[in-house]
């Protein structure tokens, strides 16, 4: 794929999600935290695929994440808190926000040990 096509696809997908990306980004930046869209959602946008969820990473800790999103999202959960992840749904879109972390893996495991 040429760079212009990738750029156009990414731009179109991000425009479609501005009602989520803009307000969420402002909540984090206003509180002094970084927030970056990462992972499969970026890949899917570049390839023009549907984005079933949005994955973010941040320097905010789970308690900070919850404080920033609780009154804005439709629902939230903290089942991944031990890995620094808070999940939520906003306007039918699933969101996962994970605190920056380092991971290590046992040789025979796919489950990370969070450092």
Q: Render pLDDT for 42-101 as a digit per residue (tens, 0 to 9).
A: 888 888 888 889 999 999 999 999 999 999 999 999 989 998 999 999 999 999 999 998
Structural domain count of the chain: 1
**CA separation for the pair 35, 115 (Å, rounded):** 20
Q: Assign residue 61 the CATH number of its domain.
A: 3.30.460.10
Residue whose C-alpha is closest to residue 67's, from 84, 86, 54, 48: 86
Q: What is the pTM of this model?
A: 0.85
- Strand ranges, E, within 7-81: 35-38, 53-58, 75-77
pLDDT for res 114: 64
Q: What is the DSSP string of 69-83?
A: HTTTSSEEE-TTGGG
- Domain containing 52 equals 3-114
């Amino acid at each position: 794929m040429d760079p212009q096509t990738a750029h156009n696809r990414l731009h179109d997908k991000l425009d479609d999600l501005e009602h989520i990306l803009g307000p969420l980004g402002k909540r984090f930046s206003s509180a002094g935290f970084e927030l970056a869209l990462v992972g499969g959602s970026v890949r899917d946008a570049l390839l023009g695929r549907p984005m079933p969820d949005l994955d973010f990473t941040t320097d905010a800790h789970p308690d900070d994440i919850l404080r920033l999103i609780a009154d804005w999202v439709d629902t939230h959960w903290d089942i991944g808190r031990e890995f620094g992840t808070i999940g939520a749904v906003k306007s039918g879109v699933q969101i996962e926000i994970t605190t920056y972390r380092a991971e290590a893996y046992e040789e025979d495991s796919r489950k990370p040990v969070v450092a």
